[in-house]
Amino acid sequence: MNQHPTRSSAVRQPTYADVNRDVIRTLWAPSPTYFGWMSVVGLILTAGILAWTWQIYIGMGAAGKRTPQNWAMYITSFVFWIGIGHAGTLISAILYLFRARWRTSIFRGAEAMTVFAVMTAGLFPLIHAGRMWFAYWLLPYPNQRYLWPNFRSPLVWDVFAISTYLTISVVFFFVGLMPDIAAVRDASTGWKKRIYGAFALGWEGTDRQWRHYRRAYGLLASLATPLVLSVHSVVSWDFAMALVPGWHSTLFAPFFVNGAIFSGFAMVLILIIPMRRLFNLYPYITDRHLDAMGKLTLVTSLILTYFYVCEAFTAWYSGEHFERASLFWKATQNYAWAFWLQYFCNSLAPLVLFSRRARTHTPTLYVVSILVLIGMWFERFNIIVPGLGHDFYPYTWGIYYPTVTDTLIVIGSFAWFFILFLGFIKVMPSVSIVEVKETLPHPVKAGHH
Amino acid sequence: MVKLEGNPDHPVNRGTLCIRGQAGLQGPYNPDRLRGAMQRRDASGALRPVKWEEAEKFLVERLTGLVKQGKGKRIVVVSQLESGSLGRLLDAWAGALGAERMNYEPFNYEAIRHASRTVFGRDAIPHYAIEEANVLLSFGADFLETWLSPVEHARAFTRMHALKHGKAGTFIHLEPRLSLTAANADEWVQNAPGTEELLALAILRVILDEGLQAPGVDIALLRAAASKVDLQSTARQSGVSGEAIKHIARTFAKAKPGLAIGGGVAGTSAFAVETQVAIHLLNYAAGNVGRTVRFGPDSAFGKAAPYVGAQLLTQRMANGEVDILLLIHANPLFALPAAGGMAEALKKVPLVVSFSDQPDETTQRAHLVLPDLHALESWGDFSPREGVIGLMQPTMAPVFDSRSAGDVLLSVGRQVLGTPEGKGPLRWPAFQAYLKDQWRGIAREYSPATPFDQFWEESLRRGGAWKEIGVVPVQARSAPVQGKPATVEGDPQGLTLLVYPSHRFYDGRGANKPWLQEAPDTMTQVTWDSWVEVPAEVAKKLGLRQGDLVKVASPHGAIELPAYISESLHAGAVAIPIGQGHTAYGRYAKDRGANPLALLPAPGPAGLPFLSVKVSLTKTGGRRPLAIPQATADQDNRELARHVTLPTARELELRGAAPEKASHPSMYPDPKYPEYRWGMTIDIDSCIGCQACVIACKAENNVPVVGKEQVAYGRDMHWLRIERWQEGPAGHPETLFLPMLCQHCEVAPCEPVCPVFASYHTNEGLNAQIYNRCIGTRYCNNNCPYHVRRFNWWDYGSPTSSSHAFPDPLHLQLNPDVTVRQLGVMEKCTMCIQRIIAAKDHARDEGRLVRDGDLETACQQTCPTQAIVFGNLKDPSSRVAKSSRSPRGYHVLEELGTRPAITYLKKVTREHGKA
């Protein structure tokens, strides 16, 4: 394993000992490159935090919102990040239940991504609220004012959907990590050992523990599975329950769920491709994995295209003036560039993944994934900003212009996500030691009976 | 003082106010108002505060010096038109000191007066009884904006024009520009600028040719005037077809009575007097004189000094013949064309004394500033026309250390004359005493039988005294007319400049009021700036886009303004409103737009020549986008503002069909309203787009002013807006005004989406908003199809904020019954819930329910045409319940199933050419 492997198919099957060594190696003292990345991301994050502080101090006017775009990039990014968070659960829970064994080497990264994406998404409702210091009023807590949230409001549904999702994701993530933390504990010394020891919750790898662990993991997977469908459905109802032309559609829930998974896969690819290179994880994250991910991305892209067609067809076929005018405006006027960019990124670019060579050619895969992320961000942008820009009332039609403040906050949210992820890969095994071992042939001792 | 409302007993306004009247409070509470006496001690020095006693002493010394030398003529007292006791006091004061006295009024209708003198031998401006006319024919008179008495005219116009019992008058308006008044016309006829006289004579000619004149008129006299024109050449020169002229003539002559009026730009051309002569003759020919055109009661504007006076004064000043100039409520540096040379002449006057309470242009150049009290802080009276005298008493303590100009003049005058209090020509201790003394004379005239004390008390309580004035019969005489288009100076290839008074700023005195700056000009919807209206064809030729800076140059000067591209302006004209372009006058007015008077020649005998020059336009390459809150005037077939034709409306009225109810079945039970269900109807047939309601709402509800950039970016805070929609050909559209405010929907889309119940439905049918519960998700405004909700993007309320909207002492105007909203919350129309609560409290004290008419919303209260009706929909006998069942009723976007509590009544339109 000393020479740099160019094609992982040529790599020798690793042994259990290799797995332990290779994975735990990723937790060693970071390289200058790592610190370089950390400082870049940290700087951007600081700028974002300063921008948010400014916005809280001076008022929501610092962000470019206006009438009619009372919502803009914050809600766009909120939906985007929630969407990103979907692939993680899909890969870890649904694929686990379906026993898709190729998930083993990527699900840890995907799960971490889920948790961090939901943590990022969860910031946006706060950033977005005009009086974020009262955002806790969204929670149903007993209070002397006898005030309760309005359970008819999709925003309250969001609170429940997202907090549930975050809870389950964190628990699932942690349970999956437990045996690996124990492995790290065993490989480390000093204060690190104590900390990992505490998080390992006394894991010893006994049969009894394994039996309980398996059962718990299965149960959690079953619990998490419906959330993949429900969370983004609920988020989509923020729009579908509203009256705005282009929003008020029953199409939204499946449309959003599929889009979420689509973007989530793209994000997983964006994260694991460099991780594989950085930590030399070629034996574990093989071309087979990338191929499978590429296929799923392609499938979800095709489904999404179908929804796009449905969306346009419904608007046209409804014969409703408001819907038609809104769609026509989006496609031809000020925001047409964003509209067509979305179709290019989400419907056209992924078509190259029909080719197996493209699916295993990491630069292509990487570029497609980035395009998909851009496309999916703009999909939400197109629903919100141009959608609101040309609604029922011609008097107030208008164009939204981003400001420095809201742009920095949105960019800062990416930095927040990446800083969490970068931190994670240095403190926790980013490939599951346990599950990778399961896919390997059992080590056979001499004199095996 | 929280809000201004008219006196319901006053015969002119009947309790309503115009947009400028509503904004009046921002005068005394203006943050840039002068806070005390000021003096410039040396020529180079700045104005510095000075004690009142010292200031008076200084003035007395200087005046005494001149009076003792017998040089009283070197003292000149200039005021605006003061038709009450202050004016008389100024006359008396000037008389006592041997000083010169003159008044001037920027818009003074001298041409009408002149024409009346020549045609009817009466030196006066008659009363135009618009409400009694069946056909109103206006030659450019902007009677719904600034002409003579717009509030009174607006009410009269509605009474004449609105469909009532199957009858509706017709309004034909000739003007090169689609003004607010033109937009209200049933037939707007676009004529070439300066052809009004020609058209009036051509119409007269048709009347005579077809024998449509009233019986008993002097045909020879009329014929002499009318024979100056012929139909064909008039049609060619004016751009109005012969058919149209004939049609107008027939409609007008057959009206019995009709009414022809003239004014606006048309009334200020080189042939202004001749135009008014021709209009007088038209009225005479149609038999309107004595019926709709009445001498007695005459308008107070007839008393304004001729404009020539201003020019003569300027010359005297330039020649160094004036030593002391006293300016009472006059700002000649802004309100006179620079070509007159006032700025230079003013430098020659050794002592300029201004009594203005605002830092206007002339006051900035004064040597001594003695700020007068505001009308609300002082005693006063004003007579807009014969038979009506309003009496004012102080309604608030002075905000700053100002003193009544009357008091100061009396005291100074006595000191100069050396007479003690109680003796001599200026014996009164204070202006109040002088005023009361004056009213003894008024009492003898108005109510000779009543003891004076009783009359005085009654007048104070009533707010004035009024009486009927008999009509004076007049006989027409022949008068000279021109019979050709008005001459215009400048490059013949250029565009005729139309300078017109703004209905928001009048002559510019409104520009320091942020409410007026932020209220959109109805026809262009422009806020905070001024503009040059460029015809689309010209703009295309010059490659101009809206907001491109244009240099407008005339033989007298040049100014730079952003272009407003107009599809409807006459292709040979450009138009610029008066009022902006102040170089001083406080933070809200200073350096905003440009003053078009800079392009005009010095005033001539007929007053300010607003139509007198041709200008050339040059694109400068710069841009200054205009802040226009209305994205488009095209309804995109959404039927927000609707109309029916007159025959259909008549038929509907006969059938009495109730408005179609949108059928949106719901699984939810209908809301229950135990006592009241508040609702409103707005008759867009009556709405003239004057915007008074917009300011009334701002004043009543502490709505902040946000500034140009925020308005341009869709963040204006108006709870109520007047939308202007246009249909039909862009060059000649049908204009519909739609006042839009929270619709208080029964099924309100904003309510279910609010996660914290900040937006909820009361059991009185109001869609309420709890400011301190709102967390600012703004979901409600996304979901409001009307977008009438307003979000506090910035911190307008707190004094420490950089966006603070109520700088000291503007905060004193804030309504204590209404919360000043904080940063990050949503707000919107509450249907003046504070007034509802007050009315309910009052009713409860009397052990009853609120009765119809117990309360009016702020917008309803001030509407000059009473287009807005508010009340309890549950009471079937209430006015609002009745009018909401009108066959013309509809709801905006009713297909969405929101079930608004506001019912609009469709505008009644006349088919063009068939009016």
Compute the mean pLDDT over every residue in chain A, rounded to the nearest whole number. 88
The whole-number pLDDT of residue B529 equals 93
Name the residue type at position B231: L
> Does A67 sit within 8 Å of B791, measured CB to CB?
yes
The whole-number pLDDT of residue B204 equals 95
Of B749, B753, B775, the CB nearest to A131: B775
The whole-number pLDDT of residue A184 equals 87
The whole-number pLDDT of residue B778 equals 94
**Mean of pLDDT values over A274-292:** 84
Query: B756 to chain A: which residues are within 8 Å by CB?
Result: 137-138, 147, 149-150
Return the number of CB contacts < 8 Å for A and B: 163
pLDDT band, very low/low/confident/very high, at B667 (cuts 50, 70, 90): confident
Which range among B100-109, B625-634, B692-701 shows the weakest confidence by mean pLDDT? B100-109
**Domain segments of chain B as ranges:** 31-103+306-385+388-466, 110-298, 495-623, 643-909
Nearest Cα to B143, choosing from B266, B269, B239? Answer: B266
> Does A150 sit within 8 Å of B756, measured CB to CB?
yes
Q: What is the pLDDT of residues B452-480, one digit of tens each?
A: 999 999 999 999 999 988 888 899 888 88
Domain B643-909 listed as CATH 3.30.70.20: yes
Name the residue type at position B584: A
Task: Write phi, then psi, for B644 (nearest 5 degrees).
Answer: -130, 155
Would you call B770 an interface residue with chain A, using a CB distance cutoff of 8 Å? no
Domain B110-298 listed as CATH 3.40.228.10: yes
CATH number of B31-103+306-385+388-466: 3.40.50.740
Interface test with chain A among B775, B800, B822, by most A beta carbons within 10 Å: B775
The whole-number pLDDT of residue B709 equals 95
Contact B48, B38 (CB under 8 A): yes
Would you call B219 an interface residue with chain A, using a CB distance cutoff of 8 Å? no
**Mean of pLDDT values over B823-833:** 96
Contact B574, B591 (CB under 8 A): no
**pTM, full prediction:** 0.93
Is A249's pLDDT higher than 60?
A: yes
Of B629, B640, B753, the CB nearest to A153: B753
Question: Where are any strands of DSSP class E within B651-766?
Answer: 678-683, 721-727, 734-740, 759-761
Would you call B897 an interface residue with chain A, using a CB distance cutoff of 8 Å? no
Q: What is the pLDDT of residues B403-428, one digit of tens each?
A: 999 999 999 999 999 999 988 899 99
pLDDT band, very low/low/confident/very high, at A5 (cuts 50, 70, 90): very low
The whole-number pLDDT of residue B659 equals 55
Query: A134 to chain B: which residues are within 8 Å by CB?
Result: 775
Compute the mean pLDDT over every residue in chain B, rounded to the nearest whole number. 92
Taking the CB of residue B259, how many other CB atoms lie within 10 A of it? 29
The whole-number pLDDT of residue B912 equals 58
Token readout for B448 is 């000779």
Between positions 274 and 303 of A, the ones with CB within 8 A of B are none
Per the model's pLDDT, the better-predicted residue between B347 and B654 turns out to be: B347
pLDDT band, very low/low/confident/very high, at B1 (cuts 50, 70, 90): confident
A100 vs A255: CA distance, rounded Å: 25
Percent of chain A with pLDDT over 70: 96
Classify B611 as helix, strand or coil: strand
Would you call A319 an interface residue with chain B, using a CB distance cutoff of 8 Å? no
Q: What is the pLDDT of residues B594-604, one digit of tens each?
A: 999 999 988 77
Of A130, A242, A398, the CB nearest to B753: A242
Place of tokens 């694109």: B619
Distance of residue B757 Cα from the nearest chain A Cα, in angstroms = 6
Of A61, A125, A394, the CB nearest to B636: A394
- DSSP state, B702? T
Is A288's pLDDT higher than 90?
A: no
The whole-number pLDDT of residue B44 equals 67
Q: B257 preceded by cis ω (within 30°)?
A: yes
> Does B803 sit within 8 Å of A129, measured CB to CB?
no
Q: What is the pLDDT of residues A386-415, one digit of tens each?
A: 999 999 999 999 999 999 999 999 999 999
> Does A392 sit within 8 Å of B786, measured CB to CB?
yes
Is A10's pLDDT higher than 60?
A: no
Contact B462, B453 (CB under 8 A): no
Token readout for B222 is 């009329």
> Does B775 sit within 8 Å of A138, measured CB to CB?
yes
Between positions 6 and 45 of A, the ones with CB within 8 A of B are none
Between positions 143 and 182 of A, the ones with CB within 8 A of B are 147-150, 152-156, 159
Is A1's pLDDT higher than 50?
A: no
Of B710, B779, B789, the CB nearest to A155: B779
Is A100's pLDDT higher than 80?
A: no
Would you call B634 an interface residue with chain A, using a CB distance cutoff of 8 Å? yes
**Mean of pLDDT values over B801-805:** 92
Task: Write phi, then psi, for B778 (nearest 5 degrees).
Answer: 65, 15
Of B632, B756, B781, the CB nearest to A397: B632
Would you call B663 an interface residue with chain A, using a CB distance cutoff of 8 Å? no
Query: A132 to chain B: which residues are within 8 Å by CB?
Result: 775-776
Superfamily name and number for A59-439: Formate dehydrogenase/DMSO reductase domain (1.20.1630.10)
Interface test with chain B among A67, A76, A239, A248, by most B beta carbons within 10 Å: A67
Contact A84, A117 (CB under 8 A): yes
Question: Where are any strands of DSSP class E within B41-124?
Answer: 47-49, 75-79, 100-103
Interface test with chain A among B724, B786, B787, B798, by most A beta carbons within 10 Å: B787
Query: B791 to chain A: which residues are within 8 Å by CB?
Result: 60, 67, 70, 130
**Mean of pLDDT values over B270-279:** 91
Would you call B783 an interface residue with chain A, using a CB distance cutoff of 8 Å? yes
The whole-number pLDDT of residue B465 equals 93
Nearest Cα to B681, choosing from B839, B837, B897, B887? Answer: B887
Classify B247 as helix, strand or coil: helix
The whole-number pLDDT of residue A359 equals 92
Strands B614-623 and B868-872: unpaired
Would you call B740 an interface residue with chain A, using a CB distance cutoff of 8 Å? yes
Between positions 307 and 336 of B, the ones with CB within 8 A of A are none
Nearest Cα to B693, choosing from B143, B17, B145? Answer: B17
**Mean of pLDDT values over B894-903:** 91
Query: B721 to chain A: which residues are within 8 Å by CB?
Result: 395
pLDDT band, very low/low/confident/very high, at B606 (cuts 50, 70, 90): low
Q: What is the pLDDT of residues B619-660, one digit of tens each?
A: 999 999 999 999 999 999 999 999 999 998 988 888 876 655
> Does A242 sit within 8 Å of B775, measured CB to CB?
no
Q: What is the pLDDT of residues B301-321, one digit of tens each?
A: 877 777 778 888 899 999 999
Is B74's pLDDT higher than 90?
A: yes
Nearest CA in chain B to A148: B756
The whole-number pLDDT of residue B661 equals 56
Nearest CA in chain B to A244: B783
> Does A394 sit within 8 Å of B634, measured CB to CB?
yes
Query: B754 to chain A: which residues are within 8 Å by CB?
Result: 150, 153
Query: B628 to chain A: which residues are within 8 Å by CB?
Result: none
Contact B262, B275 (CB under 8 A): yes
**Mean of pLDDT values over B88-104:** 91
Q: What is the pLDDT of residues A368-378, one digit of tens each?
A: 999 999 999 99
Q: What is the pLDDT of residues A55-88, one digit of tens each?
A: 999 999 999 999 999 999 999 999 999 999 887 7
CATH number of B495-623: 2.40.40.20
**Domain segments of chain A as ranges:** 59-439
Give buried/exposed letters for B859-883 (b at 16+ CB in 10 A, else e): bbbbbbbbbbbbbbbbbeebebbeb
Query: B781 to chain A: which residues are within 8 Å by CB?
Result: 67-68, 70
Would you call B773 an interface residue with chain A, using a CB distance cutoff of 8 Å? yes
> Does A138 sit within 8 Å of B756, measured CB to CB?
yes
Is B915's pLDDT higher than 90?
A: no
- DSSP state, B319? T
Query: A135 to chain B: which residues are within 8 Å by CB?
Result: 775
Q: How far is CA B155 from the centre of its chain?
A: 13
